Structure 1
Amino acid sequence: MYSRRRFLSTSAFAAAGIALAAHRVPVRAQEATGPLLTRAIPSSGERLPVIGAGTSGSYETEIGSPHYEQLKQTVKVFFDGGGKVFDTSPNYRNADDVLGALLADGGWRERAFIATKIAADSREAAEAQWAESLRRLRTDKVELLQVHNLRDWKRQLPYARELQQQGRTRYVGVTHFLASGLPELENILRSEKLDFIQINYSVNAPQAARTVLPLARDQGVAVLINRAFDDGKLFTRVAGKDLPGWAAEAGVTSWSQLFLKFAISHPAVTAVIPATSRPDRQADQLKAGRGPLLTAAQQQELIAMFA
Structure 2
Amino acid sequence: MKALLLRREMLQGMGAAGAAMLLDTFPAHPTNAAPMLLQRTIPATGEKIPAVGLGSWQQFDVGTSKEERNPLREVLSKMKEMGGKVVDASPMYGRAEQVIGDLTSELQINDQFFFATKVWTSGRQAGVDQMNESLKKMKRTRLDLMQIHNLLDWETHLKTLRDWKAEGKIRYIGITHYTDSAHARLEQIVKSKAVDIVQFNYSIKSRNAETSLLNAAKDHDVAVLINEPFEQGALFRAVKGKQLPGWAAEYDIKSWAQFFLKYIVSHAAVTSVIPGTSDVKHLVDNLGAGLGRLPDSNARKMMVKTMEAL
Tell me the TM-score normalised to structure 1 length: 0.91
Q: What do the CA deviations read for 1:13-50 (whole angstroms, capped 9, x no partner)? A: xx3222223534669x9877721010110010000011
Q: Secondary structure at the match of 1:48?
A: strand
Does the 8 Å CA contact 1:16/1:236 hold for their aligned counterparts? no
Aligned residue among 15, 20, 25 for 2:6? 20
Q: What do the CA deviations read for 1:52-73 (whole angstroms, capped 9, x no partner)? A: 0011011111123312011111
How much has 1:304 moved relative to structure 2?
3.3
Tell me the TM-score normalised to structure 2 length: 0.90
Where structure 2 has 5 or more consecutive residues not aligned to the other structure, the ranges are: 26-33
Structure 2 partner of 1:12: none
**1:238 aligned partner, one-letter code:** V
Q: Secondary structure at the match of 1:146?
A: strand
Structure 1 partner of 2:292: 291
Does the 8 Å CA contact 1:55/1:86 hold for their aligned counterparts? yes
Q: What do the CA deviations read for 1:168-212 (whole angstroms, capped 9, x no partner)? A: 000001001111110111111122432100011101101111101
Residues of 1 paired with 2:108 and 2:122: CA distance?
34
Where structure 1 has 5 or more consecutive residues not aligned to the other structure, the ranges are: 1-14
Structure 2 partner of 1:67: 68
Does the 8 Å CA contact 1:206/1:303 hold for their aligned counterparts? no
Moved over 3 A (4+): 24-27, 29-33, 304-307
Relative contact order: is structure 1 or structure 2 higher (C-alpha 8 Å, sep ≥ 6)? Answer: 1
Number of aligned residue pairs: 292
Structure 1 partner of 2:28: none
Structure 2 partner of 1:265: 266
Residues of 1 paired with 2:130 and 2:14: CA distance?
47
Does residue 57 of the first structure (1) align with residue 58 of the second (2)? yes
Alignment of 1:22-101 (within 5 A): 23-24=10-11, 34-101=35-102
Q: Equivalent pairs: percent with the same residue?
A: 36
Alignment of 1:270-281 (within 5 A): 270-281=271-282
Q: Secondary structure at the match of 1:115?
A: strand
Structure 1 partner of 2:154: 153
Q: Secondary structure at the match of 2:93?
A: coil
Q: Secondary structure at the match of 1:20?
A: helix
Does the 8 Å CA contact 2:193/2:222 hold for their aligned counterparts? no
How big is the alpha-carbon RMSD for the aligned residues of Structure 1 and Structure 2?
1.7
Q: Secondary structure at the match of 1:144?
A: strand
Structure 2 partner of 1:115: 116
Residues of 2 paired with 1:242 and 1:176: CA distance?
33
**1:268 aligned partner, one-letter code:** A
Residues of 1 paired with 2:183 and 2:305: CA distance?
21
